[in-house]
Structure 1
Amino acid sequence: MAKKSTRATSEETQSTSTDSATTSTASETAKAATSATEQTAKATQVDPQAQQIADLKAQLTDKDDQLLRAQAEIVNMQNRNKKEQAALLKYDGQALAKDVLPVLDNLERALATEADDEAAQQLKKGVEMVYGHLQDALKKHGVTEVAAAGEKFDPNVHQAVQTVPVDDDHPADTVVQVLQRGYLLKDRTLRPAMVVVAQ
């Protein structure tokens, strides 16, 4: 009886020891799992300050980009404005010069008439003086006459209103006669010359 009791006690002790070891292992496994879960949660959890810094950096980069674009646009506008102002200064008075050209044409027609008596000659002399002064004033402001008679036809400065057959004196595409003088304002055509062209 005593031996049986000792055996039973020994078996119970071993069983308890095994249960205790199993419980200890399970407890350690649970702790390890909990620790791993906490570490994963910490890793996946975003630090609010770090997120805020990242957002601010993104906003700063965006603002820098907008600033650079705005500065480039301002520089482009300034360059366009300078070019427009330079063109305005270069071709200043173009409208006035265009309006004066018919006056010059009329003075030329007046000078082409014959002056028979002394009074007419005096008048013609006065017209010549006015014509000369007007031409000088126009030249002073960059208005020059288009070279036409005997020149090769150039559609940029000549306007063909009539054609004549080619002959020995006038090869093809040359200006035979000038019907109305043309003028340039610096390098811009103010009025093309009306010409007769050999073809």
Structure 2
Amino acid sequence: MTEKEKDMQTESQQAENVNQQVDTENVSAEDAALDKKQQELNEMRDKYLRLVAEFDNFKKRNAKERIELMQTANKEVINALLPVLDDADRAAKQLETSQDINIVKDGVTLVFNKLRSTLQSKGLKAMESMHTEFNADLHEAITEIPAPNEELKGKVMDELEKGYYLNDKLIRHARVVVGK
């Protein structure tokens, strides 16, 4: 082997060593990048799982609060009606012992007025239906009767049960008789 061939072989080995070193550096750089991406993926997966768990807890807490609210929603109204119930009990006792019908009548009227005002303070409002146009969204027609004049045709002639709104939302349709 000539000296030139030896130099070429040495250069070839050096080049191969450099290529191996570059390949090793590339592989280690790729491994580092892959490890970094894997770590980011694990962090994102952890965040996702925590977020899903937090949302699930929120849904459970919200459902529990809704059930509690529904169970205690009437408490305020019931507490407001208890004094009316007490007055009704006192009026019932007076009915048994009183001889004066006017006093009993006044007492019962006071109890009814207190009941109405208590319900109104909680948002209950009676519907005015008499001599208004029949509206199927507000009224439930029980029957039709001949109207005494043309003005009352298609209008409410009689109200069998009042309709009611609670905070401007219809909660009971008025049961009415309509003129035809």
Gaps of 5+ in 2: 85-98
Residues 34 and 137 (structure 1), Cα distance of their counterparts in 2 relative to 1, 3 Å cut: closer
Selected match of 1:142 from 90, 101, 123: 123
What's 2:9 paired with? 26
Give 1:175 deviation, angstroms. 2.0
Selected match of 1:58 from 30, 41, 48: 41
- Tell me the distance in 1 between the aligned counterparts of 2:179 and 2:50: 62
Residues 171 and 21 (structure 1), Cα distance of their counterparts in 2 relative to 1, 3 Å cut: same
Query: Is 2:139 the counterpart of 1:158?
Result: yes
- Tell me the distance in 2 between the aligned counterparts of 1:171 and 1:145: 24
1:127-174 deviation per Cα after TM superposition (whole angstroms, max 9, x unaligned)? 4343333323322332221111122333443222223467511243x3
SS in 2 for 1:190: strand
- Tell me the distance in 1 between the aligned counterparts of 2:169 and 2:117: 19
SS in 2 for 1:154: coil
Give 1:47 deviation, angstroms. 7.3
Q: Which is higher, the Rg of structure 1 or of structure 2?
A: 1
Residues 26 and 48 (structure 1), Cα distance of their counterparts in 2 relative to 1, 3 Å cut: closer
Look up the equivalent residue of 2:77 and give its one-letter code.
G
- Aligned identity (percent) is 18
Q: How many residues align?
A: 157
Gaps of 5+ in 1: 1-15, 101-117
Residues 198 and 72 (structure 1), Cα distance of their counterparts in 2 relative to 1, 3 Å cut: farther
- Cα RMSD, aligned residues only: 4.3
Give 1:194 deviation, angstroms. 0.6
Query: Is 2:88 the counterpart of 1:93?
Result: no
Residues 27 and 46 (structure 1), Cα distance of their counterparts in 2 relative to 1, 3 Å cut: same
> So what's the TM-score if we normalise by structure 1?
0.55
- Tell me the distance in 1 between the aligned counterparts of 2:173 and 2:179: 18
SS in 1 for 2:170: strand
What's 2:177 paired with? 196
> So what's the TM-score if we normalise by structure 2?
0.59
CA contact under 8 A between 1:156 and 1:189: conserved in structure 2?
Answer: no
